[in-house]
Amino acid sequence: MQCDEAQALISASIDGEVPDVGAGELRQHMAACAACAGVQADFRRLSQQLKSAGREILPARMETRVRQALAQAAAEHRPALIRGKPWVRQLAAMAAVCLIAVFGTWSVTRYMESESRIEQDVLSAHVRSLLQDSPIQVASGDPHSVKPWFNGRVEFAPEVKDPAAEGFPLVGARLDYIGGRRVAALVYKRRLHTVNVFVWPSASPGDAAPRLIPVNTYNLLTWRHNGLTYWAVSDLNGAELQQLQALL
Amino acid sequence: MSSRTTFEQLALPHLDAAHNLAYWLVRSRPDAEDIVQDAFVRAFRSFATFRGGDIKPWLLTIVRNVAYRWLAGRKRANNVVSIEEAFAPRDGDSVGEAWIASEEPSPEALLIGAQERARVLTALAGLAPAFREVLVLRELEELSYNEIADVIGAPVGTVMSRLSRARGELRTRLGALIEKEEKDAM
């Protein structure tokens, strides 16, 4: 037996795990080879040192901890789906994530769609009002005659003001149709510009700060106040439109 | 007798061995405790698949799987384990249990044998997990080659050669440690 063959068996020899076929030859080699005998002695000493080094000390609380965990595991009656194999659980998790993503996208696009549909409606109503002979059904600069005009025409009472002193005279009002409902339209002037302010009851509660949306060279300004949704639209610049909003 | 009572009677005597293997695989005391708890719960849940005989190798196989999954997770998360937390002395530990070579030897370490123990454990800690585990299973848990083969899921021939290489490596590292100590003492 050569040294390299012997080396492969020295470790097994101190564990008493040398295959029967090699045992005799190894013994002979060990008796003759001082180097291999040295390795064997070293390995034997290492083995002794490790054995006497002993295990890592087990913390006293471990047994209680494991007993508690086992009691809890025994008490748990989990539904079959969750207790299933890991791939079943992964599949379930993936399906859940897909559903959430689909529903999330659907509701977001639905919300965005309704928002942009309102935008389109508001703009169309504004332009249509300017195409006609008159954008108003009732001509009056007096809020006290415009407000009662809406009685029985819409199912809410829009707040009507006349900020003529600030350069936004009230011209009148009419009814319009936006987002599938009848809405109040108040018409104001600013120099030669016409401003349509559409009002209807809000779907969501609470007030919302004005938001300026420029669309096709027109400016749209929307806000919510006291349960009513307002959309002001005009070819007026955004700053003056916001000025009007502050006056209403 | 409930299956939990049976399981506890069979498995709890090996808590020490399970903890020792987990500790030597992940080398962090808090994590070893979590791994042992997790492994025992898993073992209990799959107790029906235990086919009798000695429960120890079966239990250690589960401990090893949980520990390796934990190690893979740590690698993936690139999670650095706080060395203070990992090596902080715990209840029931004597100072001598903190086997990492400290700057000054503790009073216990000065006792004959303690230094040698600290040295051999430091060398063991430096080995690759694959070498560490066969040495722990063989020397500390005194499993046979067949049982080790079952635990690590490798042929007996692999166990034999891996143990041989592990011992060779341990011998080299120990030699280097002694040399370094002598140089430091000069």
Contacts of A47 in chain B (CB under 8 A): 139, 167
Instruction: Report the pLDDT value the prediction gives residue B91, as an integer from 0 to 100.
Output: 44
Phi, then psi, of A195 in degrees rounded to 5: -120, 125
Examine residue B105 and state whether it is found in any structural domain, yes or no. no
Distance separating alpha carbons of residues B124 and A42, to the nearest angstrom: 15
Element holding A220 (H helix, E strand): strand A218-225
Whether the model pTM is above 0.95: no
Q: Compute how many other C-beta atoms are within 10 angstroms of the C-beta atom of residue A56.
A: 22
Select the residue of B91, B124, B174 nearest A59 (Cβ to Cβ).
Answer: B91
Q: What is the pLDDT of residues B31-58, one digit of tens each?
A: 999 999 999 999 999 888 888 888 999 9
Nearest CA of chain A to the CA of B82: how many Å?
19
Is residue A135 domain-shared with residue A240, that is, in the same domain? yes
Q: The CATH number of the domain where A211 resides is what?
A: 3.30.200.100
At a CB cut-off of 8 Å and minimum separation 6, what does A215 contact?
A: A119, A123
- Regions in chain A scoring below 70 on pLDDT: 77-84
Q: The CATH number of the domain where B23 resides is what?
A: 1.10.1740.10
Per the CB < 8 A criterion, the answer to whether A142 and A162 are in contact is yes
Is residue B24 domain-shared with residue B79, that is, in the same domain? yes
Distance separating alpha carbons of residues A68 and A74, to the nearest angstrom: 10
CA torsion sign, B135 to B72 to B146 to A57?
positive
- What is the average pLDDT across B105-120? 65
Tokens of residue B62, six digits: 């589960």
Examine residue A57 and state whether it is found in any structural domain, yes or no. no
Instruction: Report the pLDDT value the prediction gives residue A179, as an integer from 0 to 100.
Output: 87
pLDDT band at B179 (very low <50, low <70, confident <90, very high): confident
Nearest Cα residue in chain B from A75: B4
Q: The CATH number of the domain where B186 resides is what?
A: 1.10.10.10
Chain-chain contact of B40 with A66 (C-beta, under 8 angstroms): yes
Instruction: Report the pLDDT value the prediction gives residue B159, as an integer from 0 to 100.
Output: 94
Domain span at A31: 3-47
Examine residue A168 and state whether it is found in any structural domain, yes or no. yes
Instruction: Report the pLDDT value the prediction gives residue B90, as an integer from 0 to 100.
Output: 46
Nearest Cα residue in chain B from A85: B46
Examine residue A91 and state whether it is found in any structural domain, yes or no. no
Contacts of A8 in chain B (CB under 8 A): 160-161, 164
Sheet holding A208-215, edge to edge: A138-139, A170-178, A181-190, A193-201, A228-234, A218-225, A208-215
Chain-chain contact of B171 with A46 (C-beta, under 8 angstroms): yes
* ipTM field: 0.76
Nearest CA of chain A to the CA of B79: how many Å?
24
Select the residue of B36, B41, B160 nearest A73 (Cβ to Cβ).
Answer: B41
Distance separating alpha carbons of residues B19 and B38, to the nearest angstrom: 11
Instruction: Specify the number of domains making up chain A.
Output: 2
Instruction: Report the pLDDT value the prediction gives residue B89, as an integer from 0 to 100.
Output: 45
At a CB cut-off of 8 Å and minimum separation 6, what does B72 contact?
A: none
- Between the ranges B87-91, B113-117, B133-137, where is the mean pLDDT highest? B133-137
Select the residue of B12, B120, B161 nearest A50 (Cβ to Cβ).
Answer: B120
Task: Please say if the pLDDT value at position B117 is more than 70.
Answer: yes
- The chain-wide mean pLDDT, for chain B, equals 81
Is residue B137 domain-shared with residue B71, that is, in the same domain? no
Question: Can you tell me whether residue A163 is helix, strand or coil?
Answer: coil
Pairing of strands A218-225, A193-201: unpaired
Tokens of residue A208, six digits: 């919302």
Task: Please say if the pLDDT value at position B164 is more than 70.
Answer: yes
Instruction: Report the pLDDT value the prediction gives residue B94, as an integer from 0 to 100.
Output: 42
Instruction: Report the pLDDT value the prediction gives residue B44, as an integer from 0 to 100.
Output: 92
Distance separating alpha carbons of residues B60 and B23, to the nearest angstrom: 12
Interchain contact A166–B (C-beta under 8 A): no
Domain span at B132: 126-186
Q: What is the pLDDT of residues B166-175, one digit of tens each?
A: 999 999 999 8
> Which of the two residues, B98 and B121, has the higher pLDDT score?
B121
Examine residue B19 and state whether it is found in any structural domain, yes or no. yes
Per the CB < 8 A criterion, the answer to whether B95 and B176 are in contact is no
